[in-house]
Chains A and B, each alone.
Chain A
Amino acid sequence: DTAVSQTPKYLVTQMGNDKSIKCEQNLGHDTMYWYKQDSKKFLKIMFSYNNKELIINETVPNRFSPKSPDKAHLNLHINSLELGDSAVYFCASSQGTGGLLGEKLFFGSGTQLSVL
């Protein structure tokens, strides 16, 4: 069983569309994250949820809205997609709050988003 799974793996869409990426973890972890990896491989935190509560919200456009229906799921909805949103988006989870307690992060395999 995949520990952290995200769908879809590839997403190609037009500018202005709205799209969602789903993430699920079956590890029983308390904390989930969304990272954005740009074309230069730089990995930037976007959001973090701990037990369904938002704990980290970095400087991300309001067009990006995370939703955590339960602690095993953290979905990412993006409105009015722009060319600059093209990137690989990674979901991750950790037992505790990853940085604070030095917990290991478990990553999904990524969603490659291409905005045309």
Chain B
Amino acid sequence: AQSVTQPDIHITVSEGASLELRCNYSYGATPYLFWYVQSPGQGLQLLLKYFSGDTLVQGIKGFEAEFKRSQSSFNLRKPSVHWSDAAEYFCAVGGGGSYIPTFGRGTSLIVHP
């Protein structure tokens, strides 16, 4: 069965600082990988996804993520965080006979001015 681990429950960064949110997955083959963002009181919105090809994926709002098969990781990065990036971030994995993506438990991003 596929699974996703987001080891950090909370991350605090200063505005303008760089950001990396960690995601590790467990899956037998090449997975489909996603990052979603949930702003307060809102549903989840897709930031980016990886299917195949280039392992560095660009998304919306200046985010990117890198698929590293050897580390079973799909970490999310942003070079300079804005206060509006404060939200909950979810990593998800899908594919290979599973009808639904499996979500990690989320990482809450706090941005200090």
What residues of chain A have their CB less than 8 Å away from a CB belonging to chain B? 4, 33, 40-43, 45, 48, 50, 55-56, 90, 92, 97-100, 102, 104-105, 107-110
Q: Taking A40-B105, A41-B88 as contacts, is the C-beta distance between A99 and B94 under 8 angstroms?
A: yes
Q: Within the complex, what minimum Cβ distance (angstroms) separates B46 from chain A?
A: 5
Type the 1/0 row for B81-110, where 1 means its CB is closer than 8 Å to any CB of A.
Answer: 000000010100011111111110110100
Determine which of B32, B36, B41, B96 lies in contact with A109 in the assembled complex, contact meaning CB atoms within 8 Å.
Answer: B41
Interface residues of B in 45-90 (CB under 8 A from A): 45-46, 49, 51, 88, 90
List 30 A-B pairs, Cβ < 8 Å: A4-B43, A40-B105, A41-B38, A41-B106, A42-B105, A48-B100, A50-B99, A56-B99, A90-B43, A92-B44, A97-B99, A97-B100, A98-B94, A98-B100, A99-B32, A99-B95, A99-B98, A99-B102, A100-B95, A100-B96, A102-B32, A104-B34, A104-B46, A105-B101, A107-B36, A107-B44, A107-B45, A109-B42, A110-B41, A110-B42
Chain A residues, CB < 8 A from B98: 99-100
Judging by beta carbons under 8 Å apart, are B43 and A110 in contact? Answer: yes
Which residues of A sit under 8 angstroms from B102, Cβ to Cβ?
Answer: 99
Residues of A within 8 A of B101 (CB): 98-99, 105
CB pair A48 B99 closer than 8 Å: yes
Q: Which residue of A lies closest to B39 (CB)?
A: A109
